[in-house]
Structure 1
Amino acid sequence: MNLYTDPKLKPEEVERLEASPVNSAKVRKPLYEARKKIHPKRASGRFRQFKWLVMLITLGIYYLTPWIRWDRGPFAPDQAVLVDIANRRFYFFFIEIWPQEFFFVAGLLVMAGFGLFLITSAVGRAWCGYTCPQTVWVDLFLVVERAIEGDRNARIKLDSAPWTFDKIWKRVVKHAIWLAIGVATGGAWIFYFADAPTLGFDFVTGQAAPIAYMTVAILTATTYVFGGLMREQVCTYMCPWPRIQAAMLDEHSLVVTYNDWRGEPRGRHSKKAAAAGEIQGDCVDCNACVAVCPMGIDIRDGQQLECITCALCIDACDSVMDKIGLERGLIHYATLSEYQDNMALATANGTTAINPRNIRDENGKFSDKIRHFDWRVIFRLRTMIYFGAWSAVGVALLIALLSRDRLELNVLKDRNPQFVVESDGSIRNGYMLKVLNMIPEKRYLTLSIEGLPDATVKIPTVSETEGREFTFEADPDQTVPLKVFVTVPAGKATGESGEFRFILEDKPGHERDVVETSFTAPEVNQ
């Protein structure tokens, strides 16, 4: 039975890489152990190309976003994304968030949580393998390392070589570029908190605030250490998600899987073994999957805590299958349910030993009984619940964003003293009002009261005269404090608190805010 359709190489001709898993699911390690350095080999294939694309997009967004301009008029910053701590504002393109609207940020964090649950439930640790900042920066650092020191074998050889001039200059250049990436990472971060061009000039000329230099120094150090030195240790020991993800997975979750029902027993497919009638699986034991793994695991040992589902082992294995003329998919994305069904076929007749012949027909093709992944299983109850919760939070935030008021009035009644009896017997109460003009435009607002028909109002900063309605100017995107006094003539106030309302209006803009408060008088008027 010839399984090979159009082989470029015979299985025994495939190079066997000397690659042992650093993190093995089959070996119980001591609690404390020195780190064994991992030298991942460069992979090529559709998943590696997708990771390149994600890396370019995510790094581009991070480094370039602070430089995007957005015209908000003359009274607001023109940086598209800005966390303005000094003025307590968060700008995101056309959206402006005030401190009391922080629930929008909290809502986005809740959406991120549900999104992470959804992705993990559907496709395993895809977030970790493609878009996690640790993964992205490690990929970037590996690009630099390979460009200077070479691919896997060259780096291993350089590690064990004596400290010659060639080794020293390569290491110095590599670490210098890593530090430059760290500086760029920290520099990009501080640009989110101030006008990027201005801060950039101040930073390089030594005029920036000390906190800016401290922030860049800290982020430079963490980026260099986490991305260049610790790498997989951050994911294995520092990140809690590997230990949480198990609760998010079920038998229908897609994870990177070695199909041992097809690959075992693995071997080099020698003519001697074939002549002896030995059963041989598709795996030629080339260790390509181990060599490309950035976490240093052997996916053939099964699911492991260290696996970040980057799928580079799939690319490596597919390339070997192409060379020997076998179908791709010895390692691929699969569900536990699919895997168990296929394993049952491979161990037919009540045996526990895997026999790949049970899953192929006489022409060497896979049996029609082999189960392949059906994308419809992603749309199951668990993922629908996560998607529904994610969507509900998103819709609620969108409705709140579109319906929010841009004019707000806060009223705080004086508590000490609660009232003042004036010389003519009238009763006066004091109030501290804060008017929030939440748009980057100057507005003329009207403040009036409703209720207490005999009462008059005085706002010293607006007018010297008393009345019941006042118009004043509110600066753009500012909070306007107003000290307001409400006076009721003698004999018109009772000992009980009288309810009335402050009304704030932008008449041209048809916006208003109403706040109900109380008026306090003594029990007996003098």
Structure 2
Amino acid sequence: MLADQPTSPLYDVEPVNSKKRREQLYEPRKKIFPKRANGRFRKFKWLVMLITLAIYYITPWIRWDRGPFAPDQAVLVDLANRRFYFFFIEIWPQEFYYVAGLLVMAGIGLFLVTSTVGRAWCGYACPQTVWVDLFLVVERAIEGERNNRIKLDAAPWSFDKLWKRVSKHTIWLLIGVGTGGAWIFYFADAPSLLQSVATLQAPAVAYITIAILTATTYTFGGLMREQVCTYMCPWPRIQGAMLDEHSLTVTYNDWRGEPRSRHAKKAIAENKSVGDCVDCNACVVVCPMGIDIRDGQQLECITCALCIDACDDVMTRLGKEQGLISYATLKDYNANMALAMGTGQVVQPARIRDKLSGKLVDAIKLTDWRSIVRPRTVVYFIGWTAIGLAMVTALALRSPLSINVLHDRNPQYVQMRDGSISNGYDIKILNMTPEPRTVMLRIEGLEGATLTAGDQTASATAIELQLAPDKVMSLRAFVQVPAEFLPTSQTRFIVGVASTDGAVRSETETTFDVPEHK
């Protein structure tokens, strides 16, 4: 039902980051006071915010029993011992390719999300967005809703304004301290480091890190906010290459909303066409980026969809269908626009509604989530899955023992008095388990050869060694071949290390050098 005055609040507001303001190269920043939105997308943002913040702040305190010889923190970046612990997974420096694989997966995942639902990462899970949301919760709790905050900002300084501002910024700083504190707990045992920090006995680097992250969190989340996304982050400029006509993006459906009118009944009486948009600006006042989605796709839009919640609420109050602002593909938008315009050059609202029921005609294409599945996204998903499966398989099949053998370069061999030849080697054996391990060092594929290693004085084809937990054993070894078994040229053979029960094994190939026969 149409009415002269919609039963929805009207906001006389100009978008802070409107097209007109963007034309000014050095336009000073204008503060944004976003109104709190309510709806399904806002609820989803609350959920994502709670989950991500909980993961960040709680993870360092989760314990994971790895035995008496390893740290019991579930997630730990142990820089001193060059280890990365993630629950039951332990990554060593030479296995950095796992970290590289995770970074590649993160990149492909970002491409996948962007090509399907636009900058949803920016709008929901980006740390900048999450912490700005958290800071806004504090701001609203202390200073009130949008109108109250605008009034307070414009008011002269008073005791009320002073204590509210001091309270707000104090809590923001405490959040910054908590953010920096949580970060350093990923690099040392959290309970021990907390005690050291509290008693001023922690290393200087811990306090420096907390100070830097406190300053950046406070500045980016409390003071700069949308400017970080617009000017500092490169992703808004990259995302254009990720989108196509099948990507779902937050869209103002002007084929339905135009022409706008706050006085629809009067316009109809004057025989003027009227769209569904009542120009209430509800979509503008909830936008954390300060844009008007009705201006079309913009670099600043982070696809948080809060404008959808605000507009849906207005449409419901007016008794109209939701979706004036919605997730839509460019292909469907163009089809709907062609239907609304017909052969003319302007939108004709009568073309998109049934004359009897007043509802949108069936030919209108609404949000089609099936567009997510298409060749481009399938390729991204297959690539992402393949890398993930390869990493999981490699982790499952990797041996907890590793051996490296380096042949002496000078001299390459030594001829003994009895005519036998001896070669020297530097051997490193890595025990990647948190328990001591007894292993056998063996040589294979070299007939008649014997091995002497470490403090062993007797020669044998296999030597028993005791490996410390999570340590590298370095030792000198010599392989000797009697004269009657000497090969005629350089010979390759295997040096292997295995647990006493043979369940775990690692081996590598090296060479045995002999004098050249002319």
The bucket for the TM-score relative to the shorter chain is over 0.9
Aligned equivalents of 1:272 and 1:403: distance in 2? 75
Q: 1:414 aligns with which of 408, 431, 440?
A: 408
Moved more, 22-31 or 293-302: 22-31
Residue 11 of structure 1 contacts residue 284 of structure 1 at CA under 8 Å; is this kept in 2?
A: no
1:441-500 CA-to-partner distances (Å, cap 9, x unmatched) read: 221100121233333322233x23222211111112221112112233457646732322
Alignment map for 1:288-303 (pairs within 5 Å): 288-303=282-297
Conserved in 2, the CA contact under 8 Å of 1:122 and 1:378? Answer: yes
Where do residues 213-362 of structure 1 align in structure 2 (5 Å cutoff)?
Answer: 213-348=207-342, 350-362=343-355
- Name the stretch that deviates more: 373-382 or 450-459: 450-459
Q: 2:491 aligns with which of 480, 491, 498?
A: 498
Deviations 1:110-152 (A, max 9, x none): 1111111111111111111000111000000111111111111
In the alignment, what sits opposite 2:53? Answer: 59
What is the match of residue 194 of structure 2? 200
**Rounded Cα–Cα distance in structure 2 between residues aligned with 1:112 and 1:496:** 50
Does the 8 Å CA contact 1:10/1:324 hold for their aligned counterparts?
Answer: no
Aligned residues between the structures: 517
Q: Which amino acid aligns with 1:516?
A: E
Of stretches 317-326 and 130-139 in structure 1, the one that deviates more from structure 2 is 317-326
CA distance in 2, matches of 1:186, 1:253: 37
Answering whether residue 388 of structure 2 is matched by residue 399 of structure 1, we say no
Q: Offset at 1:28?
A: 4.6
The whole-number CA distance in structure 2 between the counterparts of 1:494 and 1:14 is 94
Distance 1:120 1:144, change over 3 A: same
1:464 corresponds in structure 2 to 457
Report the equivalent of 1:109: 103
1:436 and 2:437 matched: no
Which residue identity does 2:478 align to in structure 1? F
Q: What does 1:133-212 align with in structure 2 at a 5 Å threshold? A: 133-212=127-206
Q: Give the Cα–Cα distance (whole angstroms) in 2 for the partners of residues 341 and 72 of structure 1.
A: 60
Give the structure-2-normalised TM-score.
0.96
Cα pair distance change 1:413/1:201, threshold 3 Å: same
* C-alpha distance after superposition, 1:192-233 (max 9, x if no partner): 111111111111111111111111111111111111111111
Does residue 367 of the first structure (1) align with residue 330 of the second (2)? no
CA distance in 2, matches of 1:345, 1:333: 19
Alignment of 1:474 onto 2:467: yes
Within 1, Cα distance between the matches of 2:391 and 2:34?
A: 43
Deviations 1:385-419 (A, max 9, x none): 11111111111111111111111111011223323
Q: What residue in structure 2 maps to residue 384 of structure 1?
A: 378
Aligned to 1:69: 63
RMSD: 1.9
CA contact (8 A) 2:4 2:264 kept: no
Contact 2:6/2:318 (<8 A) preserved: no
Counterpart pick for 2:32 among 28, 35, 38 = 38
The alpha carbon displacement at 1:91 in A equals 1.1
Closer, same or farther in 2 for the Cα pair 1:270/1:503, shift >3 Å? closer
> What is the CA–CA distance in structure 2 between the aligned matches of 1:500 and 1:122, rounded to whole Å?
54
Distance (Å, rounded) in 1 between the aligned partners of 2:208 and 2:451: 51
Shift of 1:426: 4.3
Gaps in structure 1 of 5+ consecutive residues: none
The answer to whether the 8 Å contact 1:494/1:522 transfers is no
Say if 1:445 and 1:472, in contact at 8 Å, map to a contact too: yes
- Quote how far apart the aligned CAs of 1:269 are: 2.2
Distance 1:212 1:253 in 2: 44
Q: Summarize the Cα distance change of 1:214–1:291 in structure 2 as closer, same or farther, 3 Å threshold.
A: same
